[in-house]
A and B are shown apart, each in its own frame.
Chain A
Amino acid sequence: MADGFIIAASATLMVPIITLVLGLIIGYLAQRSGFCSIGGMRDLMMFKHTRLFFGYLTLIGGALIGYTIFWLIIPSAFPNFYWAGTQGFTAIPGAPSGLMVGSYIILAVIGGFGMGLIGVLLGGCPLRQIVMSSEGGRNSLFFVIGLIFGAIVFHAFTMGLVQAIMP
């Protein structure tokens, strides 16, 4: 059982507070900097601009530094760190569950490609779209409403389909 700084019994109260504060900080920072992962890749490929792309690279670096530091402080909160070392070539759980490794690779290719293509055509990754909607962009607001409906569609329909056809 994984144990973090906050015990499971107080999670009902603490998880909403922590995620709200995290969201506030990230929303604020992302609004100031125009942070966008897909936008970074687009600027790099289209104009050779590296500004936003460096943001995505440092996010990976920051996470690696953070995981290492907190893993040293409280190893029980990171039971399978470093994942490839303890679990090999598998996917960290997320929806859908219970598939073979090959299926996760196929899903990663389909999911990533679709996200990248639509994201670049509509002008931003999901985070950027949420931030743009909070800046007053009506197009992005409809994108965010789409995200909400998409979550329901995925669990009501897509996930069942995937689990039925993928080994």
Chain B
Amino acid sequence: MKENIVEIVNKGKLGFSKGIKIPAVVGLSIGFLAAFVQALIISAGGPEAYGFCVACHTRDFTNAIVNAFTGQSLGIAPVAGTAISLTFIGVILGGYLSAKKYKEFKVKKGKPLMYIIYLIGGIAVMNFSLLLGACPYRAALRFAYGDMIALIGIVSIAGGVAVGVVLLKYYMNKGGI
């Protein structure tokens, strides 16, 4: 793939639609955009390095709605205290529009047992990421901002992935999955 990218660049064919298929280009854009968003909305109350977060922004969105309908006061970030954060909806819509445009939308049904596993997995991942105070993306933003505890978080994520990879390889060798 590396050679392909070099070829494309050398031939002067790196257009927009090809460029956004390269994760490195996308990563650079997301990081830069998140910094720009902080410059825009920090006055709403922060915290810092909060431009983009899958876990925290989803939490802000969910809890704002729950609070509005049930009168609870579940925690949300100061920035979302007076204004609802719609990142979550944006990502779903953006992914859907792109998948539709490029005809990649396809309903992939699973088994009921898998639905339950994924549901529990989602609950667990949200709890773990809020313990860290960041999804992998906000961890990257926090680290870039100078938060060394976020670096510990990133290394820990890599540790979790390493254990997961060992488990996956073990089951693959046994012929499972």
Write the nearest CB–CB distance from A113 to chain B, whole angstroms. 4
A27 in contact with B115 given A5-B39, A22-B37, A83-B147 (CB within 8 Å) = no
A112 to B153, CA, bound (A): 5
Question: Which listed residue (B41, B88, B94, B158) contacts A15, Cβ 8 A?
Answer: B41
Q: Is A158 touching B155 in the complex (CB atoms < 8 A)?
A: no
Q: Which residue of A lies closest to B109 (CB)?
A: A138
Residues of the A chain whose Cβ atoms lie less than 8 Å from the Cβ of B98: 27-28, 31-32
Residues 137-151 (chain A) with a chain B CB within 8 angstroms: 137-140, 142-151
Fill in one digit per residue for A34-61: 1 if any B CB lies within 8 Å of its CB, else 0.
1101101110011001111011111111
Q: Is B144 touching A63 in the complex (CB atoms < 8 A)?
A: yes
Q: Is B145 touching A111 in the complex (CB atoms < 8 A)?
A: no
Residues of the B chain whose Cβ atoms lie less than 8 Å from the Cβ of A49: 1
Write the nearest CB–CB distance from B125 to chain A, whole angstroms. 5
Q: Is B157 touching A54 in the complex (CB atoms < 8 A)?
A: no
Q: Is B74 touching A156 in the complex (CB atoms < 8 A)?
A: yes
Q: Which residue of B lies closest to A112 (CB)?
A: B156
Fill in one digit per residue for A1-14: 1 if any B CB lies within 8 Å of its CB, else 0.
11111111001111
Q: Is B44 touching A56 in the complex (CB atoms < 8 A)?
A: no
Q: Is B128 touching A114 in the complex (CB atoms < 8 A)?
A: yes
A23 in contact with B88 given A32-B20, A142-B115, A142-B118 (CB within 8 Å) = yes
Question: Which listed residue (B50, B95, B135) contacts A126, Cβ 8 A?
Answer: B135
Q: Is B164 touching A55 in the complex (CB atoms < 8 A)?
A: no
A26 in contact with B164 given A8-B43, A32-B98 (CB within 8 Å) = no
Fill in one digit per residue for B63-85: 1 if any A CB lies within 8 Å of its CB, else 0.
10010000010110101101111
Q: DSSP majority for the B interface?
A: helix
Residues of the A chain whose Cβ atoms lie less than 8 Å from the Cβ of B110: 138-139, 142
Q: Chain A CB within 10 Å — which of B104, B107, B153 has the most? A: B153
Q: Is A111 touching B129 in the complex (CB atoms < 8 A)?
A: yes
Residues 33-67 (chain B) with a chain A CB within 8 angstroms: 33-52, 54-59, 62-63, 66
Residues of the B chain whose Cβ atoms lie less than 8 Å from the Cβ of A91: 133, 142, 147, 149-150
A49 to B2, CA, bound (A): 10
A67 to B50, CA, bound (A): 12
Residues of the B chain whose Cβ atoms lie less than 8 Å from the Cβ of A117: 160-161, 163-164
Fill in one digit per residue for A89-102: 1 if any B CB lies within 8 Å of its CB, else 0.
11111111000010
Q: Is B31 touching A61 in the complex (CB atoms < 8 A)?
A: yes
Residues of the B chain whose Cβ atoms lie less than 8 Å from the Cβ of A142: 110, 114-116, 118-119, 122
Q: Which residue of B lies closest to A54 (CB)?
A: B24
Residues 82-127 (chain A) with a chain B CB within 8 angstroms: 82-85, 89-96, 101, 104-105, 107-122, 125-127
Q: Which residue of B lies closest to A129 (CB)?
A: B122
Residues 57-81 (chain A) with a chain B CB within 8 angstroms: 57-67, 69-70, 73-74, 77-81
Q: Is A116 touching B160 in the complex (CB atoms < 8 A)?
A: yes
A145 in contact with B42 given A112-B153, A134-B92 (CB within 8 Å) = no
Q: Which residue of B lies closest to A67 (CB)?
A: B35
